[in-house]
Amino acid sequence: MINPAELVDNLVALLRAIPDLVAEMEGDPERIYAYHDHYPKKASLAQAIHTMPAPAVMAVWQGTAPGTFGSVDVWKHQVTLYLRARETDESDPPAAYYRLFRLITKGVPAGSEVPMLNAAVHPSCYPMDLPLTQRQTDAEGLDYFEVPITFTEIGDE
């Protein structure tokens, strides 16, 4: 089994390499970042979501489960991207979250020829399964979106 922290870090690096996604982060690639648990200083995902800047994309490993790929037993790693769009006003088109989701799935990282849906994020994993996006609400009642992504390991390392 791979170290999921490597998967998360590789995903962040590829997302930071999508020029249009970085532009959505006001040109700051550091707004696309990984959350790694470090007890006791970083042990609350709810707090990390609550304190996310806007705009931002935070990648978090949610867990690993056994699964199958064809007739082979494999590990499936769950990573969730938490999205906060940039501030907009009434004159802006209502596309901030749609655009982020499209760039996460269809954006092409610099130096690559394939969109993220087909990118090898980790050499021991297949490209991401088709992700979904869904609205959530934080402790203050503010909406954000999350994108759960599954990566299937090619074999058991």
pLDDT at 156: 57
- The number of angstroms, rounded, from the C-alpha of 71 to the middle of its chain's C-alpha atoms is 28
b vs e for 29-66, b when ≥16 Cβ sit within 10 Å of the residue's Cβ?
Answer: bebbbbbeeeeeeeeeeeebbeebeebbbbbbbeebee
| Helical segments of the chain, H only | 4-16, 19-24, 45-50, 96-106
The mean predicted confidence, pLDDT, of the chain is 93
Q: Which of 36-40, 99-103, 138-142 has the highest mean pLDDT?
A: 99-103
- Work out the widest C-alpha separation in the chain, in whole angstroms: 52
Residue 157 has pLDDT above 70, yes or no: no
Tokens of 120: 């090898």
Residue 142 has pLDDT above 80, yes or no: yes
pLDDT at 69: 83
Residue 144 has pLDDT above 60, yes or no: yes
Q: Write the pLDDT tens digit of every residue in 36-91.
A: 999 888 889 999 998 999 999 999 999 999 988 888 889 999 999 999 998 888 88
Residue 104's contacts (CB-CB under 8 Å, 6 or more residues apart) are 15, 21, 57, 81, 116, 131, 147
Tokens of 42: 């970083």
pLDDT at 140: 84
Q: Report the range of poorest mean pLDDT among 16-20, 56-60, 90-94, 119-123.
A: 90-94
pLDDT at 146: 97
